[in-house]
Structure 1
C-alpha cells in the first residue's frame, strides 16, 4: 500500500469543525488534503462524512489522541473507512501534551505501544503518521509510520525535521495564517490562537530548541515568536512562507486559517487558492 496523496497544500481545521459543504468547496479549489483537528473521536465518523462528501481530496487526522481512544477502536474505524474510500485517509495520531492528561507518562513508550496496537489492528504503516516535534518522536515517525505531522512550528524546524527523518518519510507541517496586512490586527488574532500553547511544555521546549528564550515565551509571546509561528499578509506572502517550508524539506503544508469569530473562511481560502495553485 502507498501512502495517501496529499498534494503540496492542504487545510487544517479544528474549531469550528469541517462541514461536508466546506470540504467539497476546498476540494474544488484545489487543496489536496483536509486535516481534522481537535482530537476527533475514535469512531472517526467525521472523517467518513468528509470523504463521503468529496471524491478526490485526502482526509487526515491531526490528531487522534492516544490517551482518548484505544488502538483497537481506532483500527476498526480505519478499516471501515479504508474499505469505503481506499487510499484517501491518513491516520494521524499523537500523545497530546502532559498538562492535559493525568496519565501522561513516558510518551515515547506510549506511542510505541499504540503503534503496536495499530499494527495488530491492521493499520498499514503507510496510512498513518505521528504528531512529532522533538528528535525522538521524529525518528519514531520515520521508523514506524509514513512520517511526521509537526504542529505550530517554523520553516527552520521543518529543515531540522527533514534532517532527522531522512529522505522518503512524509513531512507535513501545519502553518497558521492570518489573511490581512493590518499588522496589529493580525498579531491580535494570532496571539488568541497561540496563547494556550505558551503554557504547554512540549511546545515551549521545541521553541527553545529553535532559539527562542524566556523573553519570547513570557506573557502572550514576543512579536518575534508570533511572527515566526503565524504568517500574515496578502496571499503572496502566505505562499512565500509555504514555499519556505517546501524548500526546507516539507512534502506537504497544511494551512490553518485564523479569522475573526463568526467569519466565513471560504472567501479567504479562495483568495489563497488563486495564488497557491496558480
Structure 2
C-alpha cells in the first residue's frame, strides 16, 4: 500500500465545505486532493461527504483532533471508508491547540505518539497517515511514523525549514490561504479576519516568532506584513506565484484555502487552476 496521489496543488476547506457537489467540481478542475479541516468526530462524516461526491480525487483529513476523536473509533472509520473508496483516503491527525483543549491538553507529544500506536495496532497503514506539524519534534515524528507532514498557516520560510527537518522523500504538504481580491486593503481585511483567530493561539504565535515575526504576541492582530507572508491575494497569476513559492521551497503539495470561508469557492479555484495549468495537466 502506498500514499494516494495528491498532485502538486489541492484545496482545503473547513468541515463540510467540499462535502457536496463542489467536490466533483474541484476534481474536474484538476486539483489533486481535497483536505477536510476541523475533523472533531471519529465517524469522519465530512471526509465521507467529499469522497461520496467525487470519483477518484484523494481526500484527506486536515486534521483529526486526537483529543475529541478516539483512535480506535477513527481507525474503524478509516477501514470502513477505505473499503468503500479504496486508495483515496489519507488520515491527517494532530494535537490541536492548548487554548481550545482545556484541561485535556497534557503531554501533547506523548499523547500523539500513543495515538499513533493505537492506529498502528488497529491496522491503519503508516503511508496513509500524515501529522499536523509545526516544530522540529513533530516534524521528526512525521518522518518516523507517517507518510509526512501537513503544516498549517506557515510562511514560505517555514516550508524551507520543514523540508530540511524532514529530509528528502518525506511528504510535505502545507496549507496556504488565498483571497481572490485585487485591492490590497480589502484583501487584508478578509485575510485578517481569518488569521487573527490563530494569532490568539500560542502554538502558531511561537512558530511565527521564529519565522520572521519576532515581535508577535498572543492576541495581536495580524499586521499587513504578516498577512502578506501567510495569505496570497490579487490576480490568479499572483496567487499562483504564492502557491508556487511553497513548492519551490520544498513542498511536495500545497493545499489552498479560499477566503472568506463563506460563499462559493469554485469560481476562484477555476481561475487559479487555469493560472497553475491544472486543467491542462488533468486533461493530458
State the TM bucket, normalised to the shorter chain.
over 0.9
Query: Match of 1:91?
Result: 91
Q: Does 1:209 align with 2:204?
A: no
1:39-68 alpha-carbon deviations (Å, 9 max, x no partner): 241111222222122111100000000000
Aligned-residue RMSD, C-alpha: 1.4
Q: Distance in 1 between matches of 2:136 and 2:159?
A: 12
Question: Which residue number in structure 1 is paired with residue 41 of structure 2?
Answer: 41
Give the SS at the match of 1:91: strand
Deviations 1:143-192 (A, max 9, x none): 00000000000111011000000111110000000011100000000000
Deviation per residue, 1:85-117 (Å, 9 max, x gap):
111100000000101112101211111000000
1:244 aligns to 2:251 (yes or no): no
CA drift of 1:209 comes to 1.1
C-alpha distance in 2 between matches for 1:181 and 1:66: 38
Question: For residue 275 of structure 2, what is the aligned residue in structure 1?
Answer: 275
Q: Which residue of 2 aligns with 1:23?
A: 23
2:199 is paired with a residue of what secondary structure?
A: helix
Q: Residues of 2 paired with 1:116 and 1:49: CA distance?
A: 27
Q: What's the CA shift for 1:84?
A: 1.2
Q: Give the corresponding residue for 2:63.
A: 63
SS in 2 for 1:69: coil
| Alpha-carbon distance change, 201 to 16 in structure 1, aligned in 2, over 3 angstroms | same
CA contact (8 A) 1:66 1:95 kept: yes
Quick one: distance in 2 between partners of 1:201 and 1:45? 29
When normalised by structure 1's length, the TM-score is: 0.96
Summarize the alignment of residues 127-276 of structure 1 with structure 2, pairs less than 5 Å apart.
Answer: 127-214=128-215, 219-259=220-260, 261=262, 263-276=263-276
Deviates most, 127-136 or 97-106: 97-106
Cα deviation, residue 238, structure 1: 1.1
C-alpha deviation, 1:216, in angstroms: 7.5
Contact 1:47 1:59 in 2 (8 A): yes
2-side partners of 1:245 and 1:150: how far apart? 12
Distance 2:56 2:246 in 1: 24
Q: Is the 8 A contact 2:209 2:216 kept in 1?
A: no
99-108 or 188-197: bigger deviation: 99-108
Unmatched runs of 5 consecutive residues or more in structure 2? none
Tell me: CA distance 1:204–1:260, structure 2 relative to 1, closer, same or farther (3 Å).
closer
